[in-house]
């Protein structure tokens, strides 16, 4: 006889539920280097869920970013990752901004954006009053006119060269825009054209240097098929946003966008625990984003062409979180099905459903 276990998640409520295994079964067996494998957990003190079993589950095949104090430590970290099955290691770099190079010995290595010392001030975007355009709340971080060939050459030659020298095999570009916002007195169309030109140059250089190319973008998923041909993967920090969960059409548009690029062989990376416009965290545990990913996950999840969820930024997930769901639920039996404002997908050993509206609800049902 099968037993059904239903767990309900409601947006904006904090739900701490361990779906499967207890941490008492595992011991911390690794040192400081273990934090690197977790990709989203950069705080060395968060070691509660370390161990070989967790490393296998938590994003082990791809790491978008590795930080260290110096080159020697960085090399040790990425060698550790390779030894433990990480197949793709990214070199993280901002695609559109510049900041001053830290004075003295930096505590974060390698550099993550082109330093001001390496650019010309004529490359910085200006507003209608001819003032330099900076990042919100960061007066020392400037937006660059990436439509200029000189800017493209400066950024891409530097970050592609760094990636090759450091032993990374993926260039992970952050702060890339498409039909979403524009700095200074530019409109979205102008900024989109410049960013797309930059991306095409990045694709050319990464292919020549045998690197994969992934961008992190705020662009809504319905636009992704337009620029996906120039990429291997797309990272996104606004999945399952409350605004999209208000209506069936908006949520389906997001899901459909993921599916289209996956069918093109592109991987989708969803990041969790992002702040809303009110400064609230709408998915602190990452399980709403995880359920969203499961609704579109391919039957045979590949590395490139699949969908993956990064652990929350400030806490390493327990084994009962997202990494266990594919194992617990098994393969999907059919595509998702809508019934009014509710969407459901059935799996070999359970189902996932989402009810959209002002107060969205998520349900994971396990059948054993």
Tokens (6 digits) for 51: 């161990």
CA distance 141 to 135: 6
**Each residue's pLDDT tens digit in the chain (368 positions)?**
555 544 443 332 222 222 222 222 222 222 223 333 334 333 333 444 455 555 555 556 888 888 888 899 999 888 888 887 889 999 999 999 999 876 655 567 999 999 999 999 999 999 999 999 999 988 999 999 999 999 999 999 999 999 999 999 999 999 999 999 999 999 999 999 999 999 999 999 999 999 999 999 999 999 999 999 999 999 999 999 999 999 999 999 999 999 999 999 999 999 886 766 677 777 877 889 999 999 999 999 999 999 998 766 655 555 556 767 888 899 999 999 999 999 999 999 999 999 999 999 999 999 97
How many angstroms from the chain centroid is the CA of residue 360? 23
235: CATH: 3.20.20
Domain hosting 89: range is: 4-367
124 vs 195: CA distance, rounded Å = 14
Between helix 149-166 and helix 71-83 the angle, nearest 10°, is 70
At residue 320, what are phi and psi to the nearest 5 degrees? Answer: -80, 0
The tally of domains found in the chain comes to 1
The tens digit of pLDDT for each residue in 48-107 reads 445 555 555 555 688 888 888 889 999 988 888 888 788 999 999 999 999 987 665 556
Cα separation, 203 vs 226, in Å, equals 15
DSSP per position, 175-212 = S--SSS--STT--HHHHHHHHHHHHHHHHHHHHHTT-E
pTM of the model as a whole: 0.86
CA–CA separation, 26 vs 229, rounded Å? 42
Whole-angstrom Cα distance, residue 322 to residue 39?
Answer: 14
Q: How many beta carbons lie within 10 A of that of residue 278, not counting itself?
A: 7
């Amino acid at each position: 006889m099968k037993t059904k276990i239903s767990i309900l998640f409601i947006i904006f409520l904090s739900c701490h539920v361990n779906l499967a295994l207890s941490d008492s079964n595992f011991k911390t067996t690794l040192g400081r280097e273990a934090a690197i494998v977790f990709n989203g957990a950069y705080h060395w003190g968060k070691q509660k869920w370390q161990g070989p079993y967790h490393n296998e589950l938590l994003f082990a095949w791809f790491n978008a970013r590795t930080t260290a104090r110096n080159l020697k430590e960085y090399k040790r970290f990425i060698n550790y990752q390779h030894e433990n099955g990480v197949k793709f290691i990214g070199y993280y770099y901002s695609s559109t901004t510049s900041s001053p190079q830290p004075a003295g010995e930096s505590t974060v290595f390698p550099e993550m954006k082109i330093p001001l010392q390496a650019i010309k001030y004529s490359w910085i975007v200006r507003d209608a009053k001819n003032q330099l355009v900076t990042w919100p709340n960061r007066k020392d971080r400037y937006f660059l006119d990436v439509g200029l060939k000189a800017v493209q050459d400066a950024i891409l030659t530097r970050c592609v060269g760094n990636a090759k020298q450091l032993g990374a095999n993926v260039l992970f570009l952050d702060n890339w825009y498409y039909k979403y916002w524009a700095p200074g007195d530019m409109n979205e169309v102008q900024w989109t054209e410049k960013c797309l030109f930059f991306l095409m140059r990045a694709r050319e250089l990464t292919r020549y240097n045998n690197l994969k190319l992934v961008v992190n973008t705020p662009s809504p998923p319905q636009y992704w098929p337009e620029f996906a041909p120039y990429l291997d993967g797309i990272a996104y920090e606004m999945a399952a946003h409350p605004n999209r969960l208000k209506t069936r059409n908006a949520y389906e548009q997001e899901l459909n966008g993921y599916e289209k690029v996956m069918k093109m062989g592109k991987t989708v990376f969803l990041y969790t625990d992002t702040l809303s416009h009110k400064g609230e965290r709408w998915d602190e545990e990452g399980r709403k984003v995880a359920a969203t990913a499961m609704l579109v996950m391919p039957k045979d999840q590949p590395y490139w062409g699949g969908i993956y969820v990064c652990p929350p930024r400030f806490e390493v997930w327990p084994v009962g979180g997202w990494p266990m769901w594919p194992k617990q639920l098994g393969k999907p039996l059919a595509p998702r099905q809508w019934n009014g404002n509710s969407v459901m997908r059935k799996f070999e050993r359970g189902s996932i459903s989402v009810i959209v509206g002002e107060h969205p609800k998520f349900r994971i049902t396990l059948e054993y």
